[in-house]
Structure 1
């Protein structure tokens, strides 16, 4: 072999080594460095389900790493810094759950919420040993043997339960005059936005912790509950999206009740898309909650197909201006701007007058005694109360700690029969239904052929709450002081698909939300 042949052979050998050994190794190191850089640069603040799932797919992020980053953020801003106090308890098994999700993903198992951190309102049960307190010291030891139905559904979809969110005590129905977001066991949830002047007491009730946590990026999804305004209020106040579903779409089993005819759980998120995905994951028919068997959308588990940007084109939306703030107020101006945004997208806005007969209903107090007593009778032995009467007595033992603002609603409920056959209760419930449906929302929606009704914040929450109808709220902007304002859309039973279409179309066209500046 001549020198040229030997040289050629050496060159070919070197190229072979480089091509099949060194280059792949160099490429692997380069990819590893790139992934590490992308992990460090992954923008947690404002991250959506789609953003996170893409990062998982590209192996730029693991479930454990994501969970760790949310836990670090909770420590930095919820417990330290501005001390938002949105999270009552971090799930001690959150990291373990995340590790399982990483293994499942490696095995090809995924779901709509796979690896997505979710925080639950503290009236929703988990079977992992975390107490479900409802904000009351009386339930500090209230551990459940199994997950609430909706908790189990979220886990089936792959969610990582990050912890329990603080809430207004007993779903903001212990007493009158207490600030929203306050509980004897968790203290005061603070507002993530704006000056100190409205940090406390204006975060909305009673899913205040869920709302503040999602606004402050302590999780991707929050789960709240509503009897009348308790999802819509904190969602609007914290500049996030909140869906209050039709009563019957989401099971209430495993949730501390307030009033069964109006209670429902629903998702809270930073975007309509994320809220829609969570809604599909948490809904379903539950034998323990018979009303879910009436769900007309029981086979609908994916609402993402309703995320359509052009949905406002030709939509008919009614506005009763008596439900808005006074003319000239900033909140009113922001809602009027939202109306203009919708008109720009092709919506037809109709000024309407919603029948709104005044009636002093006692349904909530009757059902509170009936439903809460039934729940408390089934709590574990270590729980010191088994009735509303017991709770009242328990609070009186240490009034400065347990009932700083009184307990007027509980005392009022205790005086009632708590009997589902009580003539007064039956009459009041029938009146509520009649005034909210056939002589209320149904009338105006049918006469004007409306797709939805529009309200400011939660100002129109009472009527659809009594009817069991759905609503969705979306960020509409901020006052000069920085206080968020939401625009809320309401429609008839099981119209969640249409409401999601309209909300998504408005959100994409307006893009009003901005993140709070936590320092």
Structure 2
């Protein structure tokens, strides 16, 4: 199942309620998981006293090792908060073969992942209604052809290549899957059952690997901040079907610490600052440019122009413009100031001409337009006569011939 990422536990739980359930497009994965969904949904487990009586296992090895003394001290305070709110802590537990579990090569997950990724991606791409890319092999070829744009030099595609070299689920992959099952059974499951735990507790989210190989649920809640203001999470993980318990634990911890309220205040201040910057940019750059040159609309072949429109709430629309030599469709984007929707609509009437004669668009529009060409950072001296919007490209003016 997917995992929502939200500002509060309550928000995450309500999103979870909306996305869980059986999926006809993925019956194998969702059929077994659906039996764990409680009648009435998950929001009923948002209880402020949810920590009372819960048995929580503390796994310190590899998960409670901090170089920052402040974070270490705060983490210990969080454990004390769990106790004060009724939880029973079973401390200093160890998960068998933890080093192997945390190494995705040693545990065999990479072997299984490479084979399953190719199978699943090919199935998905084949089902697309309209796409020139229909397989992992085609994705690899696309990345090679457009290596500069896809930044292959920086990021590579070694995993894609390794996955493409696989031939389905064979003996090697089955052995890897059996090893994952064995590690899960003798490690996390055994720890939970022997100690009769409702959840394990770790600092940070590194325990996600332990949970993932067995398909176990987990939830991370902000619990502390380092000296730079970066939040540190506390993670609660449990066995299959333990989502209700984890929600009770996480929600009660969140309510007891109020750490999330502090985080929200930080985020609110950051958002207000960013909105002010965006507002200033809209007023001092984009709106000023449009008014100075008496422009009706702006036309650009790049989708990177959309953020410029979005930050000011300006209207914009994409018009089909043709196909590249590789068969990939491309479009042009038309945008303007607030209230210029009629001008945008007029532009749409000319979209056939734009598709046929994109390079001569200025002579076909009953508008004064601006065209943003390919990025050219080297021509910094020319920026005196051309506005460079957030380095999205140099700007040339093109006037209507009518």
Confirm or deny a common fold (TM above 0.5).
yes
Within-5 A mapping of 1:247-262: none
Indicate the structure (1 or 2) with the bigger Cα radius of gyration. Answer: 2
Higher relative contact order (CA 8 A, sep 6+): 1
Deviation at residue 504 of structure 1 after TM alignment: 0.8
Are the equivalent residues in 2 in contact too, given 1:285–1:293 (CA < 8 A)?
A: yes
Provide the rounded CA distance (Å) in 2 between the counterparts of 1:331 and 1:413: 40
Provide the rounded CA distance (Å) in 2 between the counterparts of 1:443 and 1:360: 17
User: Within the alignment, does 1:275 sit opposite 2:24 as a pair?
Assistant: no
In structure 1, the residue matched to 2:51 is: 312
In structure 2, the residue matched to 1:386 is: 134
Provide the rounded CA distance (Å) in 2 between the counterparts of 1:496 and 1:360: 26
Within-5 A mapping of 1:329-478: 329=68, 330-350=70-90, 351-356=92-97, 358=100, 359-361=106-108, 362-381=111-130, 383-402=131-150, 403=152, 404-417=154-167, 419-420=168-169, 422-436=170-184, 438-478=185-225
Structure 2 residue aligned with 1:293, among 12, 31, 34? 31
Provide the rounded CA distance (Å) in 2 between the counterparts of 1:452 and 1:316: 7
Are the equivalent residues in 1 in contact too, given 2:57–2:199 (CA < 8 A)?
A: yes
Deviation at residue 336 of structure 1 after TM alignment: 2.2
Provide the rounded CA distance (Å) in 2 between the counterparts of 1:331 and 1:364: 34
| Stretch of structure 1 that moved more, 286-295 or 344-353 | 286-295
Are the equivalent residues in 1 in contact too, given 2:54–2:86 (CA < 8 A)?
A: yes
Deviation at residue 346 of structure 1 after TM alignment: 1.9
Provide the rounded CA distance (Å) in 1 between the counterparts of 2:136 and 2:30: 27
Aligned residues: 252
Are the equivalent residues in 2 in contact too, given 1:324–1:332 (CA < 8 A)?
A: no
Scaled by the length of structure 2, the TM-score of the pair is 0.60
- 1:374 is paired with a residue whose SS is helix
Structural RMSD (CA): 1.7
Per-residue CA deviation, residues 98-152 of structure 1 (Å, 9 max, x unaligned), is: xxxxxxxxxxxxxxxxxxxxxxxxxxxxxxxxxxxxxxxxxxxxxxxxxxxxxxx
Provide the rounded CA distance (Å) in 1 between the counterparts of 2:225 and 2:66: 16
Are the equivalent residues in 1 in contact too, given 2:63–2:202 (CA < 8 A)?
A: yes
Provide the rounded CA distance (Å) in 2 between the counterparts of 1:349 and 1:298: 27
Deviation at residue 292 of structure 1 after TM alignment: 2.2
Q: Residues 468 and 400 from structure 1, CA distance in 2 versus in 1: closer, same or farther, beyond 3 angstroms?
A: same
Deviation at residue 372 of structure 1 after TM alignment: 0.9
Per-residue CA deviation, residues 249-305 of structure 1 (Å, 9 max, x unaligned), is: xxxxxxxxxxxxxxx312222221221122112212223322322222345342221
Runs (5+) with no aligned partner, structure 2: 101-105, 274-402
Q: Residues 273 and 416 from structure 1, CA distance in 2 versus in 1: closer, same or farther, beyond 3 angstroms?
A: same
Deviation at residue 464 of structure 1 after TM alignment: 1.0
Are the equivalent residues in 2 in contact too, given 1:473–1:488 (CA < 8 A)?
A: yes
Scaled by the length of structure 1, the TM-score of the pair is 0.47
Deviation at residue 332 of structure 1 after TM alignment: 3.5
Structure 1 residue aligned with 2:240, among 490, 493, 498? 493
Provide the rounded CA distance (Å) in 1 between the counterparts of 2:165 and 2:206: 30
Provide the rounded CA distance (Å) in 2 between the counterparts of 1:338 and 1:368: 39
- 1:322 is paired with a residue whose SS is coil
Deviation at residue 496 of structure 1 after TM alignment: 0.6
Deviation at residue 328 of structure 1 after TM alignment: 4.7
User: Within the alignment, does 1:322 sit opposite 2:61 as a pair?
Assistant: yes
Are the equivalent residues in 1 in contact too, given 2:115–2:163 (CA < 8 A)?
A: yes
Are the equivalent residues in 1 in contact too, given 2:64–2:202 (CA < 8 A)?
A: no
Per-residue CA deviation, residues 314-371 of structure 1 (Å, 9 max, x unaligned), is: 2111111113252452443333222121111121211200112522411111111111
